[in-house]
Amino acid sequence: MLSVNEAEGIILDLVRVLDSVKDIETVDLENALGRILATDVIGKLDFPHWDNSAMDGYAVRYADVKDCSEDSPINLEVITEIAAGDRPKESIQSKQAARIFTGAMLPEGTDTIVIQENTIREGDTVTILAAPKLEEFVRHQGAFYQAGTPILQGGVQIGAPEIAVLATAQCTQLSVYRRPRVAILSTGDELVTPEQPLQPGQIVDSNQYALASFVAQNGGIPIKFGIVPDRPKVLKEYILKAIESADIVLSTGGVSVGDYDYVDRILAELSGTLHICSVAVKPGKPLTVATFDDNNCLYFGIPGNPVSALVSCWRFVQPALRRLSGLNNYQPRFVTATTSYDLKAAGRRETYLWGQLHLVNDNYEFALAGGSHSSGNLINLAQTNGLAIVPVGEKLITAGSKVKVMLID
Ligand code: AMP
Ligand code: MG
């Protein structure tokens, strides 16, 4: 059986990142949140756009005021006032100053701002009481960014700060990767939708909903194929359709060793290459990963147990989906935490235990979810934001000890 790290390595090697030329679309800034830039964005404006004042005060010529102090103040004639948004009309000569406000453009002839706290104003005269530094409180044109260079790199995800940068640079049409299409199939004769009345023996298909939400949270487009019965012929038709229509297929159920577990066999019949058939992980051991010669689809056959399904998605599908989306250098995030409870495992497989991570006095503490940690119990999975990892070979991490925890976004 493959280790978790081996399986992760194989999966990442199989990922075919979307093409930065073919797999793109243009979105406007309003709709860019969460999208991933396909190419570098080159701005056409310097930032700051022009020399401007960082403070309220007076724009002066440094040479006029460089030697002044409270004991030998210097008087300057205030010949104009410039507010933010004004375009200065006058040029400032020696012994003159301009009243200026934060963000306003520096007038010609000036090079330094004296803050108003260091001045006394009487009529058209301002008395400078302290020598500023040369160019003090001047934000120079292009000091933070020069037009013509990349302002944002391809492969970054657009969040609030990137939106601010793009807005400032007046980059309103953006080339982003299309969202990956992810087909979701729930296999199992026992499954019904949440709307259907439950008959004895039936189980509600929670995976379809969980996985569609997971995909959407990770920037993909979920394509719901619904419930597929455990009948090889029908299952094969669905799987073929899914493979042909998606970048990634996620099927749940039918990958174990039971009599009705047909997925692996069907994938082989469809000329799939099975790269992974099981992983030494708990929950989620019977994970199947396949690719197909005829198209670029990456297939994940995920165990049906609802907890196994989500843990498999977090641990294995998420890095693949994120990388495939064009996101540069996506990595799962791990922290070291102190566990508040004993963490038990059988020792043969890398074991993921769900619960909540809290910051207490600057340290992470992991609180194991209460109740059963059976892979069939999805009830206590709610509010999970971390998975504590018990490595292979360990059977107990005692309360108060350190544990590695994977963060769930
Ligand atoms: P399987 O992997 O098909 O052997 O299923 C393992 C367990 O997960 C069984 O108890 C199934 O009833 C349950 N299960 C399978 N698929 C789903 C699903 N889509 N939603 C909820 N439970 C499921
Ligand atoms: Mg099944």
Same domain, yes or no: 182 and 209: yes
* pTM of the entire predicted model: 0.92
Of 90, 120, 139, the one marking the end of a domain is 139
- Any idea which ligand is nearest the CA of 209? 1
Residue nearest to atom 10 of ligand 1 (CA): 305
Task: Report how far residue 214's alpha carbon sits from residue 229's, in angstroms, rounded to the nearest whole number.
Answer: 23
Region 100-121 average pLDDT? 98
How much of the chain, in percent, has pLDDT values that exceed 90?
95
Q: Which pLDDT does position 375 carry in this prediction?
A: 79
Same domain, yes or no: 198 and 313: yes
Q: Which pLDDT does position 374 carry in this prediction?
A: 85
Report the separation in Å between the CA atom of 305 and the middle of ligand 1, taken as the mean of its atom positions: 5
Backbone torsion region of residue 265, taken as left when φ is above 0, otherwise alpha when ψ lies between -120 and 50, otherwise beta: alpha
Report the separation in Å between the CA atom of 188 and the middle of ligand 1, taken as the mean of its atom positions: 7
Region 88-102 average pLDDT? 97
Same domain, yes or no: 194 and 208: yes
Same domain, yes or no: 320 and 247: yes
Q: Which pLDDT does position 190 carry in this prediction?
A: 97
Q: Is residue 116 part of a domain?
A: yes
Structural domain harbouring 127: 52-139
| Residue 258 CA, closest ligand 1 atom number | 4
Q: Which pLDDT does position 247 carry in this prediction?
A: 98
Radius of gyration of the chain (CA): 31
Q: Is residue 380 part of a domain?
A: yes
Q: How would residue 329 be classed by pLDDT, with cut points 50, 70 and 90? A: confident
Q: Which pLDDT does position 253 carry in this prediction?
A: 96
Of 275, 290, 324, the one marking the end of a domain is 324
Region 123-146 average pLDDT? 97
Probe ligand 1: pick from 209, 228, 251, 252, max atoms within 8 Å of CB? Answer: 252
Distance of CA 113 to the CA centre of its chain: 40
Q: Indicate whether 373 pLDDT > 90.
A: no
Q: Is residue 161 part of a domain?
A: yes
Query: Is the beta carbon of 377 within 6 A of some atom in ligand 1?
Result: no
* Average pLDDT of every residue of the chain: 97
55-69, 118-132, 207-221, 247-261: which has the minimum mean pLDDT?
247-261
- Any idea which ligand is nearest the CA of 288? 1
Residue nearest to atom 14 of ligand 1 (CA): 304
CATH code at position 163: 3.90.105.10
CATH code at position 270: 3.40.980.10
Q: How would residue 294 be classed by pLDDT, with cut points 50, 70 and 90? A: confident
Same domain, yes or no: 101 and 30: no
Same domain, yes or no: 258 and 356: no
Report the separation in Å between the CA atom of 307 and the middle of ligand 1, taken as the mean of its atom positions: 10
Of 260, 294, 324, the one marking the end of a domain is 324
Report the separation in Å between the CA atom of 205 and the middle of ligand 2, taken as the mean of its atom positions: 11
Same domain, yes or no: 298 and 187: yes
- Any idea which ligand is nearest the CA of 258? 1
Query: Is the beta carbon of 284 within 6 A of some atom in ligand 1?
Result: no
Q: Mind listing the pLDDT tens digit for each residue in 207-261?
A: 999 999 999 999 999 999 999 999 999 999 999 999 999 999 999 999 988 988 9
Same domain, yes or no: 211 and 256: yes
Q: Which pLDDT does position 35 carry in this prediction?
A: 98
Q: Which pLDDT does position 295 carry in this prediction?
A: 82
Region 25-46 average pLDDT? 97
Q: Which pLDDT does position 113 carry in this prediction?
A: 98
Report the separation in Å between the CA atom of 11 and the middle of ligand 1, taken as the mean of its atom positions: 23
Q: Is residue 329 part of a domain?
A: no
Q: Is residue 261 part of a domain?
A: yes
Identify the helix (H) or strand (E) that includes residue 245: helix 232-245
Token duo for residue 236:
């094969």
Report the separation in Å between the CA atom of 186 and the middle of ligand 1, taken as the mean of its atom positions: 8
Q: Is residue 388 part of a domain?
A: yes
48-52, 235-239, 372-376, 379-383: which has the minimum mean pLDDT?
372-376
Q: Is residue 354 part of a domain?
A: yes
Same domain, yes or no: 184 and 173: no
Query: Is the beta carbon of 191 within 6 A of some atom in ligand 1?
Result: yes
Region 139-153 average pLDDT? 97
- Indicate the burial class of 22 (C-beta count within 10 angstroms; 0-12, 13-18, 19 or more): exposed
Q: How would residue 274 be classed by pLDDT, with cut points 50, 70 and 90? A: very high
Query: Is the beta carbon of 207 within 6 A of some atom in ligand 1?
Result: yes
Region 274-287 average pLDDT? 97
Same domain, yes or no: 197 and 318: yes
Q: Which pLDDT does position 19 carry in this prediction?
A: 96
Q: Is residue 79 part of a domain?
A: yes
Same domain, yes or no: 121 and 196: no
How much of the chain, in percent, has pLDDT values that exceed 70?
100
Instruction: Give me the number of domains the chain comprises.
Output: 4
Q: How would residue 409 be classed by pLDDT, with cut points 50, 70 and 90? A: confident
Same domain, yes or no: 155 and 30: yes
CATH code at position 347: 2.40.340.10
